[in-house]
Copies of this chain bind each other. A is one copy, B any other.
Amino acid sequence: MTAISYELLHKEKNTNARAGILHTPHGSFETPIFMPVGTKATVKGVSPEELKDLGANIVLANTYHLFLRPGADLVKEAGGLHKFMHWDGGILTDSGGFQVFSLGELRKITEEGVTFRSHIDGSKQFLSPEVSMETQMKLGADIVMAFDECIPYPADYEYAKTSTARTSRWAHRSKDAMTSENQGLFGIVQGGMYEDLRKTSAKELVEMDFPGYAVGGLSVGEPKELMYEMLEVSTSELPENKARYLMGVGTPDHFIESVMRGIDMFDCVFPTRVARNGMAMTRTERIVIKNAQYTHDHNVLEENCDCYACKNGYTRAYIRHLFRADEMFGLRLLTLHNLRFLQRFMKELREAIFADKLLEFRKEYYDNLN
Residues of A at the B interface (CB closer than 8 Å) are 40-42, 44-47, 65, 69-70, 74, 77-79, 83-86, 295-296, 298, 308, 312-315, 317-318, 320-322, 324-325, 327-332
Q: Give chain B residues whose Cβ lies under 8 Å from the Cβ of A40.
A: 321-322, 325, 327
Nearest opposing residue in chain B for A331, CB measure: B328
A67 vs B220: C-alpha distance in the bound complex, in angstroms?
46
Q: Give chain B residues whose Cβ lies under 8 Å from the Cβ of A65.
A: 325
Q: Give chain B residues whose Cβ lies under 8 Å from the Cβ of A327.
A: 40, 42, 44
A86 and B47 form a contact (CB under 8 A): no
A83 vs B313: C-alpha distance in the bound complex, in angstroms?
9
Q: Give chain B residues whose Cβ lies under 8 Å from the Cβ of A328.
A: 44-45, 328, 331
A74 and B329 form a contact (CB under 8 A): no
A65 vs B321: C-alpha distance in the bound complex, in angstroms?
12
A295 vs B71: C-alpha distance in the bound complex, in angstroms?
11
Nearest opposing residue in chain B for A315, CB measure: B78
A9: min CB distance to chain B, Å: 34
Secondary structure of the A side of the interface?
loop
B44 and A318 form a contact (CB under 8 A): no
Q: Give chain B residues whose Cβ lies under 8 Å from the Cβ of A74.
A: 295-296, 317, 321
A329 and B84 form a contact (CB under 8 A): no
A6 vs B313: C-alpha distance in the bound complex, in angstroms?
32
Q: Give chain B residues whose Cβ lies under 8 Å from the Cβ of A298.
A: 77-79
Q: Give chain B residues whose Cβ lies under 8 Å from the Cβ of A324.
A: 69-70
B86 and A329 form a contact (CB under 8 A): no
B329 and A42 form a contact (CB under 8 A): yes
Q: Give chain B residues whose Cβ lies under 8 Å from the Cβ of A86.
A: 312-314, 318
A329 and B44 form a contact (CB under 8 A): yes
B318 and A41 form a contact (CB under 8 A): yes
Q: Give chain B residues whose Cβ lies under 8 Å from the Cβ of A313.
A: 83, 86
A113: min CB distance to chain B, Å: 25
A84 vs B318: C-alpha distance in the bound complex, in angstroms?
6
A40 vs B47: C-alpha distance in the bound complex, in angstroms?
23
Q: Give chain B residues whose Cβ lies under 8 Å from the Cβ of A332.
A: 45, 47
Q: Give chain B residues whose Cβ lies under 8 Å from the Cβ of A70.
A: 295, 317, 320-321, 324
A-B contact pairs, 23 of them (CB 8 A): A40-B322, A41-B321, A42-B327, A42-B329, A44-B328, A45-B329, A45-B332, A46-B329, A65-B325, A69-B321, A70-B295, A70-B321, A70-B324, A74-B296, A74-B317, A78-B298, A78-B317, A84-B318, A85-B318, A86-B312, A86-B313, A86-B318, A328-B331
